Each structure stands twice: as C-alpha cells, then as structure tokens.
Amino acid sequence: MKLYFQRFRNAVPLLLAASFVSSCIHLKPEHREFQTHALYEPADFVDSDVDGEGSFEKVAEEPDFQQLKFEKRIDPKDLQRPTGPYRIGPGDILEIEVAENAATQQKTKVMPDGMLYYDVAKGTNVKGLTLKEVSTKLSHALKDDYVNPVVTVNIDTPDSQRFWMLGQVKTPGAYPIKKPTTVIDALSLASGLVGASQDEVGNPEPADLERAILIRDGGLVPVHFEKLIHEGDMSQNVYLKGGDYIFVPSSVSRSIYVLGEVSRPGPVYYEPGVTLLSSVAAAGGIAKDAIGSRALIIRGSTHEPKVAVVNFWEIRKGKQPDLRLQGGDIVWMPRTPWTQLTRYTEAVLSTAGQAVAVQEGLGVLGSTGSAGITITAGGG
C-alpha cells in the first residue's frame, strides 16, 4: 500500500489567527499569526518502522471511541446585524479629493502599518478610523497648502475586511465585506456549494456539512452548517467578520490529517487499509518527546466528535494491535500532557481546522513549493 504525503505549500502571504499558537506563515488579509513549523533536528524524530516483530501481521482494529458533545453556543451578538461606520484598515483603497479641485482626485492604498499618503500631506495613520475621521485629519494636514480645504473620502476597495470561502464551493477565495454579510450570503457570493443547481443555495451531496467550520480569531464559531442549509435554521446564520474562514470539506475525497508532534504534519492520502502506523509513517514519524501514550484519533462531526485515546508507543512495539483509520480522521500527537479530554479535543479541532484552511488558502492562491506544518495546541 502506498501513501502519498501532501506537503503544504509556502512562500505566500496568508494569515490565520490562533489564540494558543504563534506563527511563521502569514495569511492575507489579517495580520495574525500562528506557529506552523516546529524546528526539530532530524534526530528528534523517531523512525516509524515497527519495533515489535510481526506487528503489521496483526489484524488492525477499530479505535475504541468515546462520544463527545461540545456545549459551546453561538454568541447572540454574532446574530445581530453589525452597526456603525466602516473602520479603515491596511489594504483598503480610498478615493480622495479636495472639494472643488478635480486635479486632486486620487486613489490611495492604506499601507500595512496603517499609514496613508495623499497629495502633499505627510503620512497619516488612519488605521481604525472612520471615513469622516480620515477626512478631518486630511483637511487639517492640507490646511497650509489649500484654502480652507474640505477633503472627501470614499471607499474604493475594502480590502482590509475580507473573509475566506474554502473547500467545496464553486468559487473559493477571499471576499470583501462591503456590507453586513451572513453565512448564507457568503455561500451565495461563492456561487453555492459544488454541485448546486442555479436556483438553490447548495446541494449537500458533495459537501460534508457535518464537518464544515467557521474559524474566527483562532477558534471555532459553533455554526451547525447542516441545520442551517438543510433545515433553514436561521439561528445558525451568523454575520461574518474580517478575517473569518469558512471551510466546507468534501464528503467523498477525504484525507487523514496527522498533526502535532510529527515530522511532516499535514494531510495523508486515504485509501482502504490505511492504519495509524502507516499514516504516522507517511508523516515522517513522531518526535521523541511527544506524548505518544496519549495520542488522539478524532472522527466525525466538529460538534459531536468521537475521540479515541491511544498509546502509540505500545502499538508501535507490537504490544497492541494497529488501528484502522477512515478518511477525514485526525491523528494528533501531543507535546504536553493533558487532563481534560473534551476541552483539549475542542482545541485540537480548532487547530486542525486552521491547518486545513492554510492548505486550502494556499491552493486557492496557486502557490507553489512546499513547507512542513506543525501546529500545537496547549495542553489542558
């Protein structure tokens, strides 16, 4: 059996957030970070070949799962239509003009540090300001060069407020938030789910809505996409914010994600017969200081996942049988001990979701090259 490890692409500026991690890959449009590659020496990793003779000869078993259910609920504020004026951010393109002076009309992009350079005015920090506040600042900055200048400022391109639609949608990519936008609006902007007819939001068959996720500020917003799309449950139709990532995985083509303290964390191609040992081997083996005795296999819905706690070292030595995996499974090798399984699993799912979003985002941008990924969640 042959496994192909798909390595992550690099050398593109993307940003994702993670409350419990730090980064060396940057994802547009938000300036957030998380660590995606642990700097290990080759000697830090354990050869994934089996120690115990005859271990591969044992019949692989199903993992001993336990059912979890997360109680996290959607914040009622996320269901309220955003109010208030637009706030300027890096990347926004503004159309500026001194009133009654057509020659001063200019489109200007806000720099990454929030500075705006227009006409003869010195650099002006406009990050977080409203259009009216930018107008007032520029009018003051130009008062020595124009007689009682009145500066008009409008949004040409709202690049600082974008969300990402990734996975099984017809037109994946980054979309600007030009007006209040819900999850349903986002699916519509992305032309619906793959396989959708022209008169419906989406056809659920090619998409795995049970595992669809909305990532915000490094965590999962607990949207039940299945209830929203299938049942029309509008209590799940949250408003999006700049930097949000929606990922809708395929219900047909599923990789296995081997993450945490492994040499080349990321997706492993699934085919019948894949096991825990063979998947970890495809990911290059695990670090010597990994807590292999408390590894996790996570399967199913992001809201009600099944989790198996496994002793990788015992399986590797042939003292316990190898375990069969399914497409979509997450294998997690922890770095630190953990005690609260439900809380820790929720953190792992959030981290794994970010790993998927990174890969999908890089693919959407057409990046080339490869880079290893290690994403760590704090032990609980």
Q: Where are the domains of the chain?
A: 42-70+253-364, 76-81+160-248, 93-157
The pLDDT > 90 percentage for the chain reads: 49
pLDDT given at position 21: 31
**pLDDT above 90 (res 19):** no
pLDDT given at position 59: 64
pLDDT band at 178 (very low <50, low <70, confident <90, very high): confident
Q: Please state which of the ranges 8-12, 111-115, 133-137, 254-258 shows the lowest mean pLDDT.
A: 8-12
> For the segment 353-363, what is each residue's pLDDT rounded down to a tens digit?
877 777 666 66
Same topology, domains 42-70+253-364 and 76-81+160-248? Answer is yes
**pLDDT above 90 (res 190):** yes
Q: How far apart are CA 261 and CA 295, in angstroms?
A: 10
pLDDT given at position 346: 87
pLDDT band at 53 (very low <50, low <70, confident <90, very high): very low
**pLDDT above 70 (res 32):** no
Please tell me which residue, 270 or 126, carries the higher pLDDT value.
Answer: 126
Superfamily of domain 93-157 in CATH is: wza like domain (3.30.1950.10)
For the whole prediction, is pTM greater than 0.75?
no
What's the token pair of residue 135? 């107008």
Question: Given CA atoms 139, 83, 171, 329 in this order, what sign does their dihedral have?
Answer: positive
C-beta separation of 206 from 212 below 8 A: no
CATH class name, domain 42-70+253-364: alpha beta
Superfamily of domain 76-81+160-248 in CATH is: Outer membrane lipoprotein wza domain like (3.10.560.10)
**pLDDT above 70 (res 204):** no
Residue 296: C-alpha distances to residues 9, 63, 64, 276, 329 (Å)? 26, 10, 11, 10, 10
**pLDDT above 70 (res 121):** yes
